[in-house]
Chain A
Amino acid sequence: MSEKVLMKGNEALAEAAIMAGCRHYFGYPITPQTEIAAYMAKRMPKIGGVFLQAESEIAAINMVIGGASTGRRVMTSSSSPGISLKSEGLSYLAGCDLPALVVNVQRGGPGLGGIQPSQSDYFHATRGAGHGDFHMIVLAPSSVQEMVNLTFKGFDLAEKYRMTCMILSDGTMGQMMEPVTLDMGEIQKYDKSWALTGTKGERKPRIINSLFLQPDELEKFNFARYERYKKIEENESIYEEYRMEDAEVCIVAFGVASRVSKNAIDKAREQGIKVGMIRPVTLWPFPKKRFEEAADKVRAFVSVELSMGQMIEDIELATRCRRPVLLCNRTGGMIPTVENVLEKIAEADKIGGTR
């Protein structure tokens, strides 16, 4: 069955979560992600699930910790300022090795910022989601269909590696409407022998905890967790390429920026400029290997972002700064135009360098 329906990004994501087996949603409204909560409020009671509007974002993420401890598929969603509030909980989820799906439909910042789209929580998602040594798997959808597919995948990866998976979306992806197919396939089953399901007096209690009084014990857990992260970096990075076969300039963009960039690439190609795009779908793990290879072939990179330049650092790190990386950016809720990107492509094309 692959019937197409017309959905708003936020609703599509919510429906995908339900199809992925999520029956516990804890949230708090904030523009531009409110439709996720509204959709869950309408659907969950009809299918025996729980929709709970918490008293705050902090309460919601702590409910997620509780729900995740039982081994159920749980999620919360918010937009930038609300995600900041959840930061403490994200660290605790990591410390407890709990699977959860957290959605950030980004808006302009810092502070209260605005309600128009943004990608300026890249650093937060990939580096500093909370205190302590930890990562989240970060998935960046660039269409309503990907809001669906990556939500399904996000729950899967979260359980597979017992960690938080974040969908790093933006206001445009959340609000725009596109036709989607909701045919997701089967839900994978993973070991849940760690889950708190009640001993019924028949087994020893399990403990989920992030407090370690002995430093050597805490160190052991941190080392083990990073061994797991290494496996994820090796096996789970995803990217999409566009017209890279003979590209001499490489655009790097995700989410709405990649949609604009595709148009710009087609136009630049008409002008004879050999330009392509690598679109990271996983922002953590960042697809480093592909960028290492690309740096052998292209003369320059252009990072197109709705921020003051955050992903650009990952490109420079992955390529060890072997090629110049230009920044094409708008911020505060503004989206780069095709013309903005074309200008930077032309600038990058002028850069020589050995091949």
Chain B
Amino acid sequence: MVSNSLKYKRITVFAGHYGSGKTNIAINYALMLRKQEKHVAIADLDIVNPYFRTKDCSEMLAEQGIRLISSEFAGSNVDLPSLPADVYSVLDSRDTYAVLDVGGDDRGALALGRYIPSIISENNYDMFFVINKFRPLTKNVQLTLEVMREIEAAAGAGFNAIVNNSNLGAETTCEDVLSSLEYARAVSEASGLPIAFTAVREDICRKLNISNAVPVRLYVEQSWQKEEKDG
């Protein structure tokens, strides 16, 4: 199901405006990686968001043989913006493919900054900028680039590609996805970054013929939200 043009690097970083869908994309990406690689880990570096965390999917990830590295306080009643020490172990063990899910905006990217020197020195990484044109604060090219520069400054590293994850949640239509392609192209042109892939909900993806599309599923949600959709 992966478009063959995707070449996995040992470390893949997902960062972007908060609410752009980083966590969900990171989980989908880790699952795709796992189909190809034996050792896959996903690290939740989010120090901003109290709800809807990677940890909500811990059971599913364990079943799939993906190692989850997450703050022991995530999803609990302790509001502590702490980073798990295990992140270093993944960055150091070179046989493991790591997906880093970074918190939203420049505030979230600050946490990434401390790992950047080791990531850059190994030089086997992708740093993806996740964008969603339906988020009001990244609705046009100018605003999107503003957010991008803020994140790069906070992280101390530059992106090397864009992931177009434009969606309206459960209400996303084919037209919405199609209408986002032009926006993504414009962001790509203005930033000089290529578009790594377009993330499209799998039921919509089947109906469309987008060259660099990757079908994704929504994993991070509460049980009653899932039932709302099924019902």
Q: What are the interface flags for B139-174 relative to A under an 8 Å C-beta threshold, 1 for contact and 0 otherwise?
A: 100000000000000000000000000011111000
Contact A115 B227 (CB under 8 A): no
B93-101, B128-136, B190-198 - interface stretch: B128-136
Question: Of A7, A115, A266, A335, which is within 8 A of B222 by CB?
Answer: A335
Q: Is B79 an interface residue (CB 8 A)?
A: yes
Q: Is A5 an interface residue (CB 8 A)?
A: yes
Q: A115-B79, A177-B169, A259-B228 are in contact. Are A4 and B223 (CB under 8 A)?
A: no
Q: Is B50 an interface residue (CB 8 A)?
A: yes
Minimal Cβ-Cβ distance residue in B for A265:
B231
Contact A337 B223 (CB under 8 A): yes
Q: A115-B79, A172-B222, A177-B19 are in contact. Are A6 and B50 (CB under 8 A)?
A: no
Contact A338 B223 (CB under 8 A): yes
Chain A residues numbered 311-340 whose CB sits less than 8 Å from any CB in chain B: 333, 335, 337-338
Question: Of B18, B77, B135, which is within 8 A of A116 by CB?
Answer: B77
Q: Which residues of A contact B222 (CB under 8 A)?
A: 172, 176, 335
Chain A residues numbered 251-265 whose CB sits less than 8 Å from any CB in chain B: 256, 259-260, 262-263
- Report B189 CB to chain A, min CB distance, Å: 23
> Bound state CA distance, A141 and B129, in angstroms?
33
Q: Is B52 an interface residue (CB 8 A)?
A: yes
Contact A115 B77 (CB under 8 A): yes
Question: Total interface residues on B, using CB and 8 Å?
Answer: 28
Q: Is B224 an interface residue (CB 8 A)?
A: yes
Question: Total interface residues on A, using CB and 8 Å?
Answer: 34
Most central of A6, A256, A333, A335 by chain B CB within 10 Å: A6
Q: A108-B77, A172-B51 are in contact. Are A6 and B224 (CB under 8 A)?
A: no
Question: Of A4, A113, A335, A338, which is within 8 A of B227 by CB?
Answer: A338
Contact B134 A6 (CB under 8 A): yes
Q: Which residues of B contact A266 (CB under 8 A)?
A: 231
Question: Of A6, A15, A338, which is within 8 A of B19 by CB?
Answer: A6
Q: Which residues of A contact B223 (CB under 8 A)?
A: 337-338
Contact A179 B51 (CB under 8 A): no
Contact A113 B77 (CB under 8 A): yes
- Report A284 CB to chain B, min CB distance, Å: 26
> Bound state CA distance, A7 and B139, in angstroms?
12
Q: Which residues of B contact A32 (CB under 8 A)?
A: 50-51
Q: A114-B77, A335-B224 are in contact. Are A5 and B171 (CB under 8 A)?
A: no
Q: Which residues of B contact A31 (CB under 8 A)?
A: 50, 79
Q: Which residues of A contact B19 (CB under 8 A)?
A: 6-8, 11, 177
Q: Is A236 an interface residue (CB 8 A)?
A: no
Q: Give me 10 A-to-B residue pairs in the complex whose CB atoms sit less than 8 angstroms apart, sorted by A's number.
A: A5-B136, A7-B135, A7-B136, A114-B76, A176-B222, A176-B225, A178-B170, A267-B231, A333-B77, A337-B224
B residues neighboring A (CB under 8 Å): 18-19, 49-52, 76-79, 132, 134-137, 139, 167-171, 222-225, 227-228, 231
Q: Give 8 closest A-B pairs by Cβ, nearest first.
A: A114-B77, A175-B51, A179-B168, A6-B134, A260-B224, A263-B227, A31-B79, A115-B79
